[in-house]
Chains A and B, each alone.
Chain A
Amino acid sequence: MKDIIVENICKSFPKEHIQALDDINIEVEKGELFGLIGPDGAGKTTLFRILTTLLLADSGSAIVNGSDVVKDYKAIRRKVGYMPGKFSLYQDLSVEENLSFFATIFNTSIKENYDLIKDIYEHIEPFKNRRAGALSGGMKQKLALCCALIHRPEVLFLDEPTTGVDTVSRKEFWDMLKRLKMEGITIIVSTPYMDEANLCERIALMQKGKILSVNTPTHIKSSFPDPLFAIKTEHMIKLLADLRAIPEIKSVHSFGEYHHITLNEPSENELQLLHQTLANDKHEAIDIKKIEPEIEDCFIQLMSN
């Protein structure tokens, strides 16, 4: 069963001359953990706002949990949970006050759905009398998630929940999402961090209001068109410049410890030649190996097309 169906959604902001969404089509299954991956300005927030009935699309239609986002907006507002990107809770209310406020607003109580948020809330319960403004980034994010979950929503929208949060908190957060998924809640999460794509069941890569690709992370990675090689020498900055100057190389991008390259005509022979060229350029400890592409490789490849 499809929980979200987005058809040909377009949205522009004429004042700012921005085409925020350009003919978006997505379907999300019930109970799926779906990721919208893309940099700032890709249109993730706009799409979320349309799906949560906060904005009207210029054209196209969308159905969330069986209800139309325009006609049945009241029904949708009862059954979705939403955590906006800039959401900062009520800083001057305590953790407990924030939570019970949102529980009441959603016609429920903390007690009623405590089992759903128990695992998350236990992390912050020792500080339940502390004002939300005095919490660390990771804790705020957990509290915000509790507030979005308190009414046991059918669909959960999380807009960049991990932006600006350090690696440790990010890992914890994704663990929580996996547990929530087991409760049968459909989760749509957006993120600018490409590495988080692997934690979703299916992802949509977005850039400048367009969808580059929608599929499972594994499938997206396997449809990378060329063999990919990682290359490393003693002097990485010089290597980058040297690789760019070699005409046989199709693309070169730095990826942390290694540079990732694709060749115009990949073959064992070409690699030997490349090794030779680099040695002639006085590179030492040359390390070339074939690797499987990451989501970021795919994103760059799709962007360049």
Chain B
Amino acid sequence: MNSEHAIITDQLTKSFGSFTAVDHISFEVKRGEIFGFLGANGAGKTTAMRMLCGLSKPTSGSATIAGFDIYKDTEKIKTKIGYMSQKFSLYEDLTVKENIRFFGGIYGLSNKALKLQTNKLIDTLGLESQSGKLVASLPLGWKQKLAFSVAVIHEPSIVFLDEPTGGVDPITRRQFWDLIYEAAQRGITIFVTTHYMDEAEYCDRVSMMVDGKIAALDSPEKLKLKYNVESMDDVFYHLARAAKRGE
């Protein structure tokens, strides 16, 4: 296992018939890095992320996730990653505690570890008074924070976050990023997509997908320098405007 890199892809491609959704992408993500995965609608972000999580088989190319091959070891990959999306994260009709126990159980935590983690998690999130309440009754921001904590409950090597802060208020959004920083400092690699360009600035490195290819990949500073613009928003606009497909 290469301990330097959490994700390595080489010429990774996915086609649906004559349509190449992801077109020979090659990149590496270092361990403990916060990696922003940006792109316009329909650029192929979701398809690429599905392949990296072992949910869909690539058409060609290769990739290793946490040291495991995405063709052969999809089951092992799944034990090494956490996943959280904007759409589904927690069971609304279970309580906070039940959700934590359930997801911890799925990831094979022992009973003792589960108990310890549950208490720790409820404590750090300040959810003591809410732990017996149904998740449905929590505000969106709390749900998202809880969902993130649950996604990393088994201390995965990598956590994939698909637009985790969509529609969340500005304060909670920042609290959410505090959680991301903490996880990154524990050595968890963060792979995140977002529509908020200020969040792109919080990433160590950012990749920009355009028409199934990676059009740019660097730290936010260097990207801004390279395109001679003020903000990541302008970088995005500059690159995505060149997109031909999708429209």
Docked complex: A65-107 residues within 8 A CB-CB of B: none
For B220, give its contact among A41, A257, A303 (CB under 8 Å): A257
CB distance from A197 to the nearest CB of B (A): 12
Asked if A133 CB lies within 8 Å of chain B CBs, one says no
Asked if A266 CB lies within 8 Å of chain B CBs, one says no
Residues of B within 8 A of A254 (CB): 174, 177, 198, 202
Residues of A within 8 A of B171 (CB): 253, 300, 303-304
Measured in the bound complex, the distance between the Cα atoms of B236 and A163 in whole Å is 17
Contact B237 A39 (CB under 8 A): no
Residues of B within 8 A of A31 (CB): none
Contact A136 B170 (CB under 8 A): no
Residues of A within 8 A of B243 (CB): 168
Contact A40 B198 (CB under 8 A): no
Contact of A163 with B41 at beta-carbon distance under 8 Å, contacts A253-B174, A256-B197, A303-B171 already known: no
Contact of A40 with B168 at beta-carbon distance under 8 Å, contacts A139-B247, A167-B236 already known: yes
Contact of A299 with B170 at beta-carbon distance under 8 Å, contacts A167-B236, A168-B241 already known: yes
Contact B170 A166 (CB under 8 A): no
Residues of A within 8 A of B199 (CB): 256
Asked if B167 CB lies within 8 Å of chain A CBs, one says yes
For A256, give its contact among B41, B168, B231 (CB under 8 Å): B231
Contact B41 A41 (CB under 8 A): no
Docked complex: B131-158 residues within 8 A CB-CB of A: 137, 139-141
Interface string of A145-178 (1 = CB under 8 A from B): 0000000000000000001111111010000000
For A39, give its contact among B39, B168, B202, B241 (CB under 8 Å): B168
CB distance from A29 to the nearest CB of B (A): 28
Residues of B within 8 A of A139 (CB): 247
Measured in the bound complex, the distance between the Cα atoms of B43 and A138 in whole Å is 12
For B247, give its contact among A41, A42, A136, A163 (CB under 8 Å): A136
Contact A169 B167 (CB under 8 A): no
Residues of A within 8 A of B237 (CB): 167-168, 171
CB distance from A88 to the nearest CB of B (A): 14
Measured in the bound complex, the distance between the Cα atoms of B171 and A304 in whole Å is 9
Asked if A46 CB lies within 8 Å of chain B CBs, one says no
Contact B170 A164 (CB under 8 A): no
Residues of A within 8 A of B202 (CB): 236, 254, 256
Contact B201 A257 (CB under 8 A): yes
Residues of A within 8 A of B179 (CB): none
Contact A303 B169 (CB under 8 A): yes
Asked if B24 CB lies within 8 Å of chain A CBs, one says no
CB closest residue in chain A, given B182: A237
Interface size on A, residues (CB 8 A): 37
Contact B201 A256 (CB under 8 A): yes
CB distance from B106 to the nearest CB of A (A): 27
Interface string of B82-110 (1 = CB under 8 A from A): 00000000000000000000000000000
| Most chain A beta-carbon contacts within 10 A, residue among B141, B195, B201, B236 | B195
Measured in the bound complex, the distance between the Cα atoms of B137 and A193 in whole Å is 24
For B170, give its contact among A41, A137, A194 (CB under 8 Å): A194
Contact B174 A192 (CB under 8 A): no
For B198, give its contact among A166, A171, A256 (CB under 8 Å): A256
CB distance from A260 to the nearest CB of B (A): 11
Residues of A within 8 A of B42 (CB): 136-137
Measured in the bound complex, the distance between the Cα atoms of B177 and A215 in whole Å is 30
Asked if B25 CB lies within 8 Å of chain A CBs, one says no
Residues of B within 8 A of A194 (CB): 170
Docked complex: B168-206 residues within 8 A CB-CB of A: 168-172, 174, 177-178, 181, 185, 195-202
Asked if B17 CB lies within 8 Å of chain A CBs, one says no
Contact of A41 with B197 at beta-carbon distance under 8 Å, contacts A163-B166, A257-B220, A299-B170 already known: no
CB distance from A258 to the nearest CB of B (A): 9
Contact A138 B170 (CB under 8 A): no
Contact A207 B169 (CB under 8 A): yes
Contact A165 B41 (CB under 8 A): yes
Contact B246 A136 (CB under 8 A): yes
Contact of A300 with B170 at beta-carbon distance under 8 Å, contacts A40-B140, A138-B246 already known: yes
CB distance from B49 to the nearest CB of A (A): 16
CB distance from A218 to the nearest CB of B (A): 19
Closest 8 CB pairs of A and B: A256-B198, A39-B169, A40-B167, A256-B201, A137-B41, A166-B40, A136-B246, A168-B240
CB<8 Å pairs between A and B, sample of 27? A38-B169, A39-B167, A39-B170, A39-B172, A40-B140, A123-B247, A137-B41, A137-B42, A163-B166, A166-B236, A167-B195, A167-B237, A168-B40, A168-B236, A168-B237, A171-B237, A192-B167, A237-B185, A240-B178, A253-B170, A253-B174, A255-B198, A256-B201, A256-B231, A257-B231, A300-B171, A303-B169
